[in-house]
Amino acid sequence: MKVQGWRLTGGIFLLLLVMTAVIFGIQTGEDAVRTLLRSTARCSLLLFLLAFSAASLYQLFPRPLTSWLRANRRYLGVSFALSHTWHLLALGALALWYPHPFVDKLTTVGLAGGGLAYVFIYAMTLTSFAAPRQWLGPRGWQRLHTFGSWYLWLIFLQSYLPRALKDPFYIPFVTLLLVVPVLRLARARRRQNAAV
């Protein structure tokens, strides 16, 4: 039986718990919290990219796997919100247990940019449920999800691009991020051609 729907989200949540236990099993103190921050950010990136590109991937490559992706994009999106809530909890732990130098380096712009990203994450998650989605209406929903997704994409890019310039390890992360606009452009072209 294929894993899908809420079972998929539940499975990903369990994996997050296991990952956290493994990290705290092999590391301690600030190192463990920072490893958790980096790991949750990487899980979030993967889940976000899968949810954000599912429809384009299906239109461009209609196969059972992309059909599964498209059918489960909502659950991948909710899993992304869960993973990033873990990122937020790890941030809380860092601020509380190891405030220096973390808190000293925080800037208003950074906090506002990251804070707004969380507003989008939770607004998009909430409106993935039927009643809030209806309340927002199709146009409002489309605007929120399109703008919110691109904003999150930008935050990921501005986090990974400076790292990739210093460390080649991060180049695949940036490459994956840059594939998204290419896919969406290709999808838009295909739609345009089909309409002519």
Residues forming the site for ligand HEM (CB under 6 A): 34, 37-38, 41-42, 87, 91, 102, 111, 114-115, 117-118, 152, 155-156, 159-160, 163
The residue at minimum Cβ distance from ligand HEM is 114
Q: Which is nearer to ligand HEM, 8 or 152 (CB)?
A: 152
Q: Which is nearer to ligand HEM, 6 or 147 (CB)?
A: 147
- What distances in angstroms separate CA 101 from CA 41, 86, 89, 108, one per listed residue? 20, 21, 18, 16
Q: How far is the CB of 171 from ligand HEM (least distance, A)?
A: 12
At 106, phi and psi to the nearest 5?
-70, 140
Q: Measuring CA to CA, which residue among 80, 70, 76, 107 is closest to residue 7?
A: 76
Q: How far is the CB of 54 from ligand HEM (least distance, A)?
A: 18
Q: Which is nearer to ligand HEM, 169 or 196 (CB)?
A: 169
Say which DSSP state 53 is in.
H
Residue 93 identity = A
Q: How far is the CB of 82 from ligand HEM (least distance, A)?
A: 14
Q: Which is nearer to ligand HEM, 54 or 90 (CB)?
A: 90
User: Which residues make Cβ contacts (< 8 Å) with residue 80, sequence separation at least 6?
Assistant: 44, 47, 48, 51, 121
Q: How far is the CB of 83 from ligand HEM (least distance, A)?
A: 10
Q: How far apart are CA 88 and CA 64, in angstroms?
A: 34
CA 113 to chain centroid, in Å, comes to: 15
Q: How far is the CB of 148 from ligand HEM (least distance, A)?
A: 11
Q: Which is nearer to ligand HEM, 6 or 122 (CB)?
A: 122
